[in-house]
Chain A
Amino acid sequence: MSNANFTFDGKKYTGVSGESLASALLRNGVVHFTNSSYKDRPRGLMGLWVEEPNALVNIDSGPGEPMKASTTIELVDGLVVRSSQGVGDLPDTRDNSRYDKVNRHVDVLVVGAGTAGLTAAKKFAALGKDVIVMDDQPGPGGHARHLGTEISAELLAVLDLANVTYLPRTTVQGLYDQGYLVATERRTDHLDAKVHTEVSRIRTWHIRADHTVLATGAFQRHLVFANNDRPGIMLSHSAATYVTRGANPFKTAVVVTIDNQGYRDALRLHEAGVTVAAVIDIRDAASGPAIAAVNSAGIRVITGKTALDSAASDSGQVCCLTIAKADGTQSETIDADLVAISGGWTPIVHLATFIGIKPTWDPALAAFVVKRDDKLTSTAGMLAGDFGDDNEAAVFFGPQLTTEQAEVAFVDYQRDATVRDFNRAIGAGMRSIEHVKRYTSIGTAHDQGKTSGTTTMGLIGQALGKAPDEIGSLTFRPPYISIPFAALAGRDRGLLSDPIRTTPIHAWHEKAGAPMEDVGQWKRPWFFPKNSENMHAAVLRECAAVREDVGVMDASTLGKIDLQGKDVGEFLDLIYTNMFSTLKVGMSRYGLMCGVDGMVFDDGVTTRISENHWLMTTTTGGAAKVLDWLEEWLQTEWTDLEVFCTSVTEQISTVAIVGPKSRELMSRLAPDLDVSNEAFAFMENKYADVAGVPARIARISFSGELAYEINVPGSFGLHIWEKVMSQGADLNITPYGTESMHVLRAEKGFVIVGQETDGTQTPQDLDMDWIVSKKKEDFIGKRSFARVDTSREGRHQLVGILPDDGSFVIPEGAYLVAGSDEKTPPPVAHIGYVTSSYASAALGRSFALALVANGLARKGEKIAVPMAGRVVTGIITDSVFVDKENARRDG
């Protein structure tokens, strides 16, 4: 046993290394620990472990932690703590500890390494099962560990078996469906501070157990009497344990009990040198070995009485106890500086209640127990009502109190909630424990009713003349004890909090200094600034270069789905609004997809590679959703269609070269390819070696310019890009990003799903009636077009907007009103909103796309844009602004 120096509220102390902070303080004579949260009453240590309500601290040393029970802190040299008065601190410094997570499947998980848990572990280990034993204490033994009794070597040996894993300091926090458990293991707080940086501080275990044994034991509970909260009033089991280990600032004790446990604890106090003035037993008569031993030791026993009130010395510590019959009569006062209460055992039912198992009331034990033995879960030990011999108890929670006494008889120490509050709740009409909890706040503090739960049910029962189980059910919720946020965050921090997806060309974009746009999980270059220009200038330059020379864009992030089978064409006819089965081999076609509700949800170009081999592209963000969609129809509806889908988004890199000089550049990259318009038409696909790499080249254009999309196996993307840059140097080859891509397509009135659409637009709303097949009998979404609201007049339709001030870019999302409402203050009836809005190099002015009610019939009408502090007016136009005749796309 080595010493450990620690600081408590600024004062230095020494304790025994590894003992609890609470024990060390008691050892040093600190009985008045703190003051209560609301009423500022002196409070002291009550319990042994997580049930402790009063002696909470903020830890300042090491990683730091607010609001921990001092009973659960193992003393290490250099510990610095401050007593808490109910509110935790949140320092501004980062917690640099490492937190990790582990997943395990196991045959049997045993919760609790006490006698019952080890017995169960022994049984299952002998059957050859893979067993994990978790216990929240630093060592095995449970109760026995506290009692100082030896747990048999035979049982302890179980923990060394090859098929048994023992995890101490590991709290099972939650029990979930189908044998899933979550536990937190404290790995370093009890060790030298230097270890912290190399080992995870807390490890979260996710366990899937075929069978779980709950052997969680029990806490003691207190009794409710006047001034039952003074320092020196403790749970008897706790007091006896501290004192037995030498943490003994007490001289004289009174033990108040409802069961035989009180007698056992009286004996331990007596053997440790505390004068036990009396044992007060509410029962009129009781028998058992412990009672006999107490009598033999000459300790006074008073039956038929209980604690009624206490008084304090100047320090605030208890100095005497008034006892009386349950009705408050026949009182007498006994001097004591320790009042040890045995109010009954409360089995730890939490985990069972988390999955909806309701505890049952056992009046002989005065306890809620859980008896369970099924495939998934079984209970053992005190939880199951096995309290051993010698444990009869009285169902009793506290004596009758006067109004004055009720005001200082505490039910929940942490809330400073008293019998008076409780009585008010009952008087107000509260009958369910949930209502009493909410009215009084009993059970809602840091200890979550570990000490007050059963007592409250008992008191309600006493008030209404019912048994505790007639009141309702004790329900607890995970976690069993509080867990730091960072521990549950684990490694999902910083850049690891969501996967980052990049294309094979990404490093080039980064080196070029392109700011990135997050598109779902992808990083896409937003624009490529030159000479510290801002985005506005970069985009004007990039767009001008695309329409006058040649630009290059990384289109690799678009979703790509490989479709093979004899029925792909028929399938695509059902999935898209337009016809695909007639598409010739080698051709590409743009398609629109709707849900069964008729609303557009994705689009893309699909290519027929060969008779039964197609390649679909989707939006960047919609790829996974579309693949799921396709599979859902194929597997759950049209199973007779032979179609096989494979995601190939990452298997193919796509480099698009765009602009009037792209033909020249393409011929340099693939000298053997005939790039004339006659040989290689719009929407056609050709195969050629590009810079030595086999490529599929598609004449697809999202800007209206002549363009070639070069598709190569994924890892060749960067090679192609670099070749494009070097071969195009004298052509003013200009890389452009997502922003310019957005502008160029908007100038052509092309929609972007998710920008022009929000899930409430049909193809017709987008002025795309041309893409809705009139020939197909059915396709997904068709029926919905005919619904009353979907086919009505006045729906929002896609149009263009030209602001009167060509230098002003209307903010995207701005709402529009009729021109006549220019001066109307809000609330004002709107006619639509702007979906896309840019400064256009080609037009030399700003423009926008918008969805306007009945828009297609309103071209030429004036609109206004209500904005705080300025007047913006404009006019409704057609949605195509550049090259209305589509003449530019052939170059």
Chain B
Amino acid sequence: MTSMTRRRSKVLPEHPDFLWANNITPKKAYDVIIIGAGGHGLATAYYLAKNHGITNVAILEKSWLAGGNMGRNTTIIRSNYLWDESAGIYDHSLKLWENLEEEVGYEMYFSQRGVMTLAHSVSDVRSKQRNFYANYVNDVDSVWLTPTEIKEIAPIVNISEDIRYPVMGATYQARGGIAKHDWVAWGYAKAAADMGVDIIQGCEVTGFNIVDGKVQGVKTNMGDIAAGKVGMVAAGHSSVLANMAGFDVPLQSRPLQALVSELLEQVLDTVIMSGAVHVYVSQAHKGELVMGAGTDSYNSYAQRGGFHVIEHQLAAACELFPIFERAHMLRTWGGIVDISPDASPIIGLTPVENLFINSGWGTGGFKATPGSGWVMAATIANGEPDKLAAPYALDRFVSGHLIDEHGAAGVAH
């Protein structure tokens, strides 16, 4: 290596000159109010306008647009979950991803660089092979990799027998990958705003106007706003909103932490997840490593967690990827994720007429952004659950028809 070798950072494209208007005063009434301008809320408004011609819509965001989980995210995109219902919604979402930048007209750095999920024991291999075959019958792309094949795709993986839990194989979804979360949000926001949707930041919902079991509108810090239909799409605050509207949801809000390194030479060009060793990692376009693991164990709205969770995942990362020993942890952050009893979302009707819910995506919401917005828009527009959303109804907890994705949700994602 020459003594004057310096690596320069990659220049990323600029954002448009205009994204959205500020300080919009909300109208007295809208056809639809969406609560929450995160990825799912923005996508919902976009598809309401695009697919259903419903543009008299307001998105109410209590803080700054896409400032919740969408504002700091490890951005893994895949659709290789276990159950048929999951294949339905997640793969629909992935298909939307594949055309999203062009359709919305915004650079999102969507990169289908593959997602690899490692197996570290006999029982781990067994359950991941089941996932692999489930994907096969549902026509969701997936291959099984041997350790040697894993090493060919990702040379930095330690496949030696000497580590505590040696790698025994992996599933690999080539169509999976990553995208830049802020840009996804801004793309949807700009497109929705261009179609006439009002995005109102700094507007906090403080209550609901419900008459005879039917929602009439919301109360906010900017006054009452009437609406024909209201959609709650506020990850991290779904229970708070539901309780305001007088019903319960089986969610627990937990911290989810993640971290980035400084910009580093590119050594990893796919996404790798490990449930047993508890870490997942990708390397973004600029060069930073983006890593995460599981949630902290207790309920919290603080957007921070304990340092020991970080330390464990860094130890795991050093075991699996020895080349990262010298990488620096530059920044950690935490979000609030809504965990449901079966690690699957809650979408559709609520006990209040014309009030719809989309929540419970837990640690895996980003990948579903387009699909979630699509089905939520259809559900609101039609007043009944879209067929891909129907299995995720709130009342599945009464019937017992849970869609248990704890295994496929693996570590966090």
Contacts and interface: CB of A to CB of B under 8 A. Distances in A.
A and B touch in the complex (CB under 8 A): yes
A86 B264 CA distance: 8
A790 interface: yes
Given A92-B323, A429-B21, A488-B329, A40 B139 contact: no
B163 interface: yes
A84 interface: yes
Nearest to B131: A813
A435 B65 contact: yes
B400 A89 contact: no
B313 to A, nearest CB: 9
Contacts of A427: 17-18
A637 interface: no
B323 A90 contact: yes
A490 B404 contact: no
Nearest to B288: A444
Contacts of B7: 84-89
Contact of A811 (B133, B312, B402): B133
A598 B21 CA distance: 53
A725 B392 CA distance: 56
Contacts of A448: 330-331
A518 B400 contact: no
Nearest to B71: A434
Contact of A826 (B6, B120, B139, B326): B139
Interface in A696-734: none
Given A82-B4, A814-B133, A486 B326 contact: yes
A439 B11 contact: no
Contacts of A315: none
A826 B137 contact: yes
Given A427-B17, A489-B314, A477 B332 contact: yes
Contacts of B129: 811-814
B91 to A, nearest CB: 10
A817 B137 CA distance: 9
A424 interface: yes
Nearest to A431: B22
Contacts of B318: 485-486, 489, 493
A830 B137 contact: yes
A87 B402 CA distance: 47
Interface in A74-119: 82-92, 94-95
A325 B138 CA distance: 69
A788 B123 contact: no
B382 interface: no
Contact of B127 (A92, A174, A758): A758
B315 interface: yes
A92 B324 CA distance: 9
Contacts of B21: 429
B215 interface: no
Nearest to A64: B326
B330 A182 contact: no
A489 B314 CA distance: 6
Interface in A301-321: none
Contact of B326 (A65, A479, A787, A812): A65
Given A38-B11, A430-B19, A82 B3 contact: yes
A807 interface: no
B304 interface: yes
A34 interface: yes
A66 B267 CA distance: 14
A362 interface: no
Nearest to B4: A9
B182 interface: yes
Given A86-B7, A493-B319, A812-B129, A755 B326 contact: no
In the complex, which range does the number of interface residues on chain B fall in? 35 or more
A89 B7 CA distance: 8
A833 to B, nearest CB: 6
B94 to A, nearest CB: 14
B255 to A, nearest CB: 11
Contacts of A812: 126, 129-130
Interface string A405-441: 0000000000000000000110111111011001101
A495 B330 CA distance: 27
Given A86-B7, A86-B8, A754-B123, A492 B136 contact: no
What does DSSP make chain B's interface, helix, strand, loop or mixed? mixed
The A interface is mostly helix, strand or loop, or mixed, namely loop
B406 interface: yes
B315 A490 contact: yes
B8 A428 contact: no
Interface centre among A37, A355, A833 (most CB of B within 10 A): A37
A519 B120 CA distance: 10
A477 B310 CA distance: 13
Interface string A515-539: 0011100000010000000000000
Given A66-B326, A477-B333, A598 B136 contact: no
A448 B331 CA distance: 8
Given A65-B326, A94-B322, A488-B315, A518 B121 contact: yes
Interface string A33-47: 011011010000000
A760 B182 CA distance: 37
A84 B6 contact: yes
Contacts of A63: 326
Contacts of B398: 787-788
B28 interface: no
A580 to B, nearest CB: 26
A482 interface: yes
A429 B326 contact: no
A85 B8 contact: yes
B390 interface: no
A468 B162 CA distance: 55
A87 B182 contact: no
A446 B121 contact: no
Contact of B121 (A86, A438, A483, A517): A517
A428 B317 CA distance: 39
B133 A813 contact: yes
A198 interface: no
B165 interface: yes
Contacts of B246: none
A597 interface: yes
Given A38-B8, A485-B324, A494-B163, A89 B307 contact: no
Interface string B1-29: 01111111101101111111110000000
A497 interface: yes
Which of A11, A34, A448, A812 counts the most chain B CB atoms within 10 A? A812
B400 A755 contact: no
Nearest to A478: B332
A126 B326 CA distance: 42
B15 to A, nearest CB: 6
24 contacts: A37-B8, A66-B328, A88-B263, A89-B265, A94-B325, A356-B302, A429-B22, A432-B201, A438-B71, A448-B330, A482-B328, A488-B310, A490-B315, A497-B315, A759-B404, A759-B406, A760-B402, A789-B401, A813-B126, A813-B128, A813-B133, A814-B130, A815-B136, A827-B139
Interface of B: 2-9, 11-12, 14-22, 64-65, 67, 71, 84, 120-123, 126-134, 136-139, 162-165, 182, 201, 261-265, 267, 287, 302, 304, 306-307, 310-312, 314-319, 322-333, 396, 398-402, 404, 406-407
Interface of A: 7, 9-11, 34-35, 37-38, 40, 63-67, 82-92, 94-95, 174, 176, 180, 182, 204, 206, 354-356, 424-425, 427-432, 434-435, 438-439, 441, 445-446, 448, 477-479, 482-486, 488-490, 492-495, 497-498, 500, 517-519, 526, 597-598, 738, 754-755, 758-760, 784, 787-790, 811-815, 817, 826-828, 830, 833, 866-868
Given A485-B261, A492-B315, 14 more contacts: A38-B9, A86-B7, A87-B287, A89-B264, A90-B265, A176-B307, A354-B304, A432-B201, A485-B326, A489-B319, A493-B319, A500-B164, A598-B400, A833-B133
| 8 residue pairs, one from A and one from B, having the closest CB atoms | A10-B3, A813-B130, A482-B328, A85-B6, A87-B7, A787-B400, A489-B315, A813-B129
